[in-house]
Structures are given as C-alpha cells and as structure tokens.
Chain A
Amino acid sequence: MEKRWVSSENLKAILAELAKDGQLIAPVKIGDEVLFRRVSDVEQICPDTEYVNSFIPPKEFILPARQTLLSYELDNSRITLHASREDLPEQVIFGIRSCDVAGIEYLTKFLSGEMFGRPDLADELFMKRRERLTILSVVCQQPGETCMCVCCEGGPALESGFDWQLTRLERGWLVEVGSEKGWALVERFRQLVPPAPEEAIAEKEERVRQVVANFYKFSPHRVQTMAASRMLSKGRLEHAFWQKIGERCVECGGCAFVCPTCYCFNVADLPVEQSTEDDGQLVPLVPGAPTKIPTKGKWERIRCRDSCMLAGYVRHAGGIYPRRTTGERCLTRFFHKLSWQFHFRMGRLGCTGCGRCIITCMGNIGISQVSEEMVEALTGVPAKEREIVLRSPQS
C-alpha cells in the first residue's frame, strides 16, 4: 500500500480546497453531539481528538433514510412511470472512523448483489452514491467506552475499504492510499503529500498497537463476540433465553437505524397529489382498505429505513405472522449480526463494533450485552467474573 505523509497545515489546506468545491462532509460539533455535515469552512470541523464517533453513522450519505424509487402519474386510463432521478455531486467524507468504513464496505458488498453472485441486481441508487463518495478515514487512538471494533474486525485501523486512511502522528499525519480514487487525490495534491518517511510508518504501527492494548485495558465491553458467534451459529441458545432478552426490547428500531451495517428498508406508495373519490358506500374487502382504486393523482414509491425488531416487519397480509414475539425478533437480529452462517456469506461479521446500539438501546440489549449474556447463559459464569479472567493476559 502506498504510504504518504502530510503536515497538519497541509491537510488543512487540502480540506479547505475540497470544502471550496462544496464536496466536503466532516464531523461537526452540534450541541453535545458530533454529526457528519457538509462543511464550507474547515474551522467548523471537530478535531478527531475531541470525539470518538458521530451519533448517527455516515451511511445516511449513501443510503438516506428516505429515497424515491420511482414516481407515477395516473390520469384515468393513462399511466406515466418515471424512474427515480438523483443528480448527485462528488462527495468527500473526512473524519469517518474505521468501523463505519467497514460498515460501508459491508453495505456495498450486500447491495451490489455480490453476496448472491448477482451483480446484475445491483442497487443503482446506492451504487451511484457509493461511487461518488471518497472516503478519508481517521484512525481512532482513544477507544470510547462502548467501542468494540477490535473484537469485530472493524478497527482501529483497516487494510481496505478507504481511499485515504489518516493516522495522527506526533508530527503531521500518515496517509495510507487504499484505492485508485485515493491515488487520484494524491496526484491532485502532489506537492502537499510527499512519500512517508520510515519513522512515520513505524510510529503508526506502534500507535495502533497501543490503541489495541489500551482497548483491552480500559474498555468495559471486551465482548467475546467470537464465542457468542459460535453459540448462535450452532443454535445452542434456548427459546427462553431469547424471550428474556426480548422482554427488554421496546420495539423502537433504534438499533437498526444507528447501525452502520443495517440496510433493511420498507417500501410504500405515497400520494403526492390525490383526488379522493371514495364515496364510502362500498364495504372494503379487507378492513381499513380503501373501497375504490384511485384513478387520478401523482404518487411516489419510496423506500425508508426499516428494522427487523419492529412489529410489522414480517407480518403477512392474511393473518400469518412469523416472529410474533420480540424474543424471536432478537434472535433474528443477533443471528444476522454475529452468526458464522452470515459471516461465511458476507466475508465478515455483521457487526463492526461501533457501539452505537449499546448507546441507543433503552432496554440495555446492545450487541455487547447480549453477547455477554449469551456466554453467561451457556457457561453459567457471570459476565463480571469472566471479565477478570479475560483481563489477566492483557494487564
């Protein structure tokens, strides 16, 4: 991998240049939270030493919460269909963390149809946005208390998935160039990013080693995701275990909305303009359904985020309702995130260890708590004691 070096001033100059084109997305402090926003002034950017990660993952820039798939107009006997139109500029995201880069890689692998070996079924809306996004990631050097990337192959530094991977050093930054697009950016700012000296490369390696060591020392969530994964994959957990976990779920869907790897969406046809001609005289075939098919108006078929933890997710019309309980839905969710079966299909775990579900969940069933409880349910050894056992080789 091509390695370059950039001074802090020059990095600022590069970002200022990108911001001038209106392309730059960077972390911005809003109230107590850090969020990714389009920035016009580099002074707005929150320094990487002042945040662990953004409250909402940057997947919103490539997989927005709501997107139009198509629109159509009805005028009695005439139907006009319009494919969705999105004219997007090139975007550069700076300050994105490794766990979210891994998340974007996961989304790309799934939505490109690669998982099924069907590139002909690539999601064009997503792929276009992905192609127009340049990723300048920044390696975390201070893990947060909910972070678990080290257990999930999601950080603190990555080998691929980024265009540039930046690591803050004592003096300046190390730039690892991970793609053609990243190389084009090096070409563009050739004067500002000279080849990295040997010491800089060694310093980065040392810093990453230190972060991993710190992670084991300080993080309270040293989950054994692999152990949990093994148990889940073999179906070794009782129905009662999941019912107990499910009792703590309030069905808010928050875990999926903040997850960098969750892609599930719902589809709905929504009227933009509609003339209602329902005379209310007929009895609908199904309770709640309109009695008359609309013949005039404009509609949009949209997709929006959905979560497998929500009640209507797998409910069929006609009364069949698999996964009726929150417990069964929890099993599905954690199976998708942690099982070997999905690991095998996707080439990595479905969790990148960002820890957002741990922060978001009101019922305390984030990925780390459930992993710990899985291990506890099978070994009978409470999580606390196990923690001590795990700590000893590291300290």
Chain B
Amino acid sequence: METKLETTRQGDGASLYLPKLVRILDMQTEVPAEAVTGPIVNFTIERNGIDFRPGQFFEISVFGAGEVPISISSPPSLKDKIILSVRAAGYVTSLLHQLKPGDYIGLRGPLGNGFPMEEFYGFDVLFVAGGIGLAPLRGLLWEMLFQREKFGRILLLYGARTPRDLMYQWQLPEWEEKGVEIHLSVDIGDGVWEKETHPPRKVGVVTTLFTDIQIDPTKTVAFVCGPPIMIRFALLGLTRDLKIPPERCIATLERHMKCGVGKCGHCIVGDKYVCMDGPVFSYAELSRLATIEEPW
C-alpha cells in the first residue's frame, strides 16, 4: 500500500526540531543477533537531495518511539541513497529494527562537523576501528576510495569482540582490490577464523596490530573510532608507538544526545558540545579536554 504523507506547519513552528520524512529502501542484517554486539542492521534510506560530509550524523526519528543520533556509513558520492548501520542498543533503536522496507522514518541533519578530508590530500591514511566504530569511518573510507588518486597508502586496522562481530566482511575483498591494506583482530577467536591467513589477522585487541605495520609518521593521518576505552588506547598507541603527531590523530566521539543542534546540553564534554564542535576531534583537542574530564 502506498504510504501517504503530510506535513503541516502552523503558528510559530519549531522547525528546528521538525524532521523530514524519508523512506527506508532496504534493510540488511550486518551482524546477527547472536553476536556479542549484535544485532546490527544496515538501513538504506532515500537521499532526497540531502548533502553531507563524511563523519556527520543524523537525528533519526522512529515514530511512536523517539529520536536518536546515528552516524552515516555511506559516502556522499554514493548517489540517491544513504546507508545507516544501526545496532539495536536501546529503546528507539530496537524499535527501528522492527520497521520494514517502505516504512518512513524522520530525519534531521546532517549535523556535526565531519571529518577534515581535504586537509589531508597527499597523505597516507590509517584507519583504526573497533566494533561498530567502523560504521562512521566507512563513509570516509569509501569517499577516499572514490578519490583514490588524492591519497597515498590506505590502511585499515579493524578489531571486534569475535569473528561474527566483524562488520562489512563481505566488502573487505572489494576494499583490498582498491588498494586498502587490511589487518583484522578479534578479542576472542572461534578456532576457525584465526587459522585463515588472509587478510592478516590476530587474536587480541586492535592496538596489538600497531606492531604489524610500517608507516611513515611524517605523512600519515589516523582516523579512529570505536568504544571509548579503545579510542583512548588507540590514540595513545598512535602517538607514542607509531609517532603520529596528535594533530593528525583524529577521533570521532559518541555521546548521549537529544537535540543535535547545540541546545539540550547532553553531549557536553569539558567546554565542547559534541554535536556542534564535534563529533570529530583531534587528539590534540581531546588531550586538552582530558585535563577537565575524560572525553572517552
């Protein structure tokens, strides 16, 4: 049945908080519910001419449930659609998983600053991701692959709890083909996964992969996302062991958010609002924030 939509606007409208309606085109399970961090579903939604930068996020409304901030997993260069990888973690996201293709969700955004990509043309790029932290980095990685000639080496160090928790495994061969050097890790192996040799892999936390790679710290930029504890140790390892300067270690943070437009105050870290000043910060900025309170 064709869904009919209406939006009406009367009086002194709070259009700042009024979402656009967009349709879900497709839903694919990325990580099954049985995995430690599952279930994660990739939602493909209508683009509707929305422009964004990699690293920005949307406020997604599930009608009858609420609104949540979700990072964008597809690159801006992907025409006509947007992909959001969402884990059923709370009230709203678990109801989001119950929607079907063809259903409508609300969308506000894009919000936040996004990754500084243009600044790093000509650099080697090192991605360090943990678990669902690969979701916001995937958009940037793809955008860089669309502009492959503008970047040097591209490395991806990706770790998850178990082999089943690794996201986008189906896409790894395509990335390798386009010249991404991939190293994987899992915290706990399943006896089968670790016996394979390609891509290179390890049982252990993602930071243990740092010893397996050779990089030139003078021309490398690192992008990091994952759970807070992983961000903290990854940034420490990148600067201390791999000698990348803190200004070129870039992380994207996750915070509880309500409005996404710098009004509700929930995402404050030190003197920064993650929704407006972030979510992307360099390690140099984060270390300064850490003198006030731990941003991770």
Contacts and interface: CB of A to CB of B under 8 A. Distances in A.
Interface of A: 69-70, 72, 74, 77-88, 110-111, 113, 115-116, 118, 121-125, 128, 235, 263-269, 271, 274, 284-286, 288-290, 292-295, 297, 299, 301, 303, 306, 308, 313-318, 320, 322-323, 328, 331-332, 335-336, 339, 341-342, 345
Interface string B7-21: 111111111111101
The residue among A87, A316, A328, A339 with the most chain B CB atoms within 10 A of its own CB is A316
B4 A301 contact: no
Given A335-B270, A345-B271, A124 B254 contact: no
Contacts of B277: 116
Given A84-B13, A288-B91, A335-B270, 9 more contacts: A79-B5, A81-B8, A87-B11, A116-B262, A122-B16, A128-B12, A308-B268, A316-B256, A322-B294
Interface in B135-149: none
Contacts of B21: 79, 81
B94 A83 contact: no
A286 B88 contact: yes
A294 B63 CA distance: 8
A263 B263 contact: yes
The residue among A88, A124, A328 with the most chain B CB atoms within 10 A of its own CB is A124
A341 B33 CA distance: 44
B93 A266 contact: no
A81 B19 contact: yes
The residue among A110, A297, A341 with the most chain B CB atoms within 10 A of its own CB is A341
A42 B211 CA distance: 78
Contacts, number: 199
Interface in B253-287: 254-256, 258-259, 261-266, 268, 270-271, 273, 276-277
B202 interface: no
Interface of B: 1-19, 21, 33, 39, 62-68, 87-95, 97-99, 104, 106, 227-228, 254-256, 258-259, 261-266, 268, 270-271, 273, 276-277, 291-294
A81 B10 contact: no
Given A263-B265, A315-B256, A293 B89 contact: no
Contacts of B292: 235, 331, 335, 339, 341
A233 B268 CA distance: 15
Question: What 5 pairs between A and B have smallest CB-CB spacing?
Answer: A317-B90, A85-B11, A264-B265, A83-B13, A318-B89
Contacts of A88: 12
A290 B98 CA distance: 11
9 contacts: A79-B3, A113-B261, A124-B16, A267-B66, A269-B64, A293-B65, A314-B255, A316-B255, A331-B293
B14 A69 contact: yes
A341 B94 contact: no
- Interface residues of B, dominant DSSP: loop
A123 B33 CA distance: 39
A342 B87 CA distance: 34
Given A72-B63, A116-B276, A318-B90, A332 B268 contact: yes
A140 B270 CA distance: 34
Contacts of B266: 264, 266, 306, 313-314
B176 to A, nearest CB: 30
Given A79-B104, A81-B18, A268-B66, A286 B94 contact: yes
Contacts of A264: 264-266
Contact of A313 (B5, B67, B88, B256): B256
Contacts of A342: 271
Contacts of A318: 87, 89-90
A121 B262 contact: yes
B293 A328 contact: yes
Nearest to B263: A123
B265 A306 contact: yes
Contact of B67 (A125, A301, A308): A301
A72 B39 CA distance: 29
Contacts of B5: 78-80
B23 to A, nearest CB: 11
A8 B295 CA distance: 56
Nearest to B258: A267
A82 B10 contact: yes
The residue among A88, A293, A297, A332 with the most chain B CB atoms within 10 A of its own CB is A293
A121 B16 contact: yes
Nearest to B271: A341
B94 A285 contact: yes
A229 B187 CA distance: 44
A289 B21 CA distance: 24
A290 B15 contact: no
A315 B258 CA distance: 12
Contacts of B261: 113, 121
A267 B62 CA distance: 13
A70 B294 CA distance: 35
Contacts of A271: 64
Contacts of A323: 293
B15 A317 contact: no
B15 A299 contact: no
Given A267-B67, A267-B259, A317 B93 contact: yes
A320 B254 contact: yes
Contact of B254 (A70, A118, A292, A316): A316
Nearest to A70: B18
A317 B264 CA distance: 18
